[in-house]
Amino acid sequence: QVIINSTITPNMTFTKTSQKFGQWADSRANTVFGLGFPSEQQLTKFAEKFQEVKEAAKLARDRSQEKIETSSNHSQESGRETPSSTRASSVNGTDDEKASHGGPAEAHLKSENDKLKIALAQSSSNVKKWETELQTLRESNARLTTALQESAASIEHWKKQFSACKEENDQLRNKIEELEEQCNEINKEKERNAQLSRRLQELETELQDKELELEELRKQGEIIPQLMSECESVSQQLQAAEKKNKDLEEKVRTLRTEVEESKHRQTNLKTELKNFLDVLDGKIDELHDFRQGLSKLGVDN
């Protein structure tokens, strides 16, 4: 915390240099005070309170001036009245009245004159004080004007620096955005590189598998002549088998013809056998009838 010791006088003015900063000049301390606030509302509250204290100081000064003026007026009126009374008494009174009333009136006049002298001395000293204070106020006002000019120049300078800093900040923001975009592109490139590395590993594994297959094919290629010779022998065997097959087919054909002929013969034999059986059944019936006739002849005898 910083304690600011500043007596507020009616001639002071509180100026808002920005939305959150204000300042005033103290001629007695020959300094310019400034305060920064966290918000504009607190700044306005402080300015209102400063104005209230300033008005109170102005009222107190006016009251003190009125008291001084009334006291000086009373003293002047008393000084003006006393000579007239003395003059009236000296004109209208006799020597006896002068002798009887001169002593206490002179003492009163002397006391009033002393009071007037003291009041005049005080007023002259007060005038000198006010003149010195006015001179100090003029000097302080000159200092304040110079300080305000310097503060205005410094404000302009700070505004220029602020604008330059703002431009630099905007440039830095743009640079940061460009760097962020570059970082995003770098991250994308990293992801692409990671994908490419994974794809490369997959291709390497596939290449290894293909190499293994190629080795197997080479091994099988070494076996191919043997297989070719075996195939030739197999083809020869197949040709021989085809010849045998053809011979067998011819035999099968002859057998089929023979089988058909045998079937035809069997059908003929079956028909003949049936006819024979029919004839045999007739003969058997005749024989049975003959036996019955014989048996009947035996019975009759």
Report whether 175 contacts 41 (CB < 8 A): no
- pLDDT number for residue 144: 76
**For position 203, what pLDDT does the model report?**
92
CB 140, CB 25: distance < 8 Å: yes
Residuewise pLDDT in 10s, the chain (301 residues): 667 778 888 888 888 888 888 888 887 777 888 888 888 899 999 999 888 888 888 888 888 877 777 766 665 555 444 444 433 333 344 444 444 444 566 777 777 777 777 866 776 676 677 777 777 777 777 777 777 787 777 788 888 888 888 888 888 889 898 888 888 889 898 899 999 989 998 999 999 988 898 888 888 777 777 778 888 888 888 888 888 888 888 888 898 898 888 888 888 888 988 888 888 888 888 888 888 888 887 766 5
Alpha helices in 33-94 (DSSP H): 40-92
Which pTM was predicted? Answer: 0.28
Q: DSSP H helical segments within the chain, as ranges?
A: 40-92, 95-300
Write b or e for each residue in 250-278: b if 16 or more Cβ atoms lie within 10 A of its Cβ, otherwise e. eeeeeeeeeeeeeeeeeeeeeeeeeeeee
Supply the pLDDT for residue 63: 83
- Decide: 51 and 38 in contact? Cβ < 8 Å: no
Q: All domains of the chain, ordered by start, with CATH?
A: 12-68 (2.30.29.30)
**Angle CA 255–258–260, to nearest 5:** 110
pLDDT of res. 283: 87
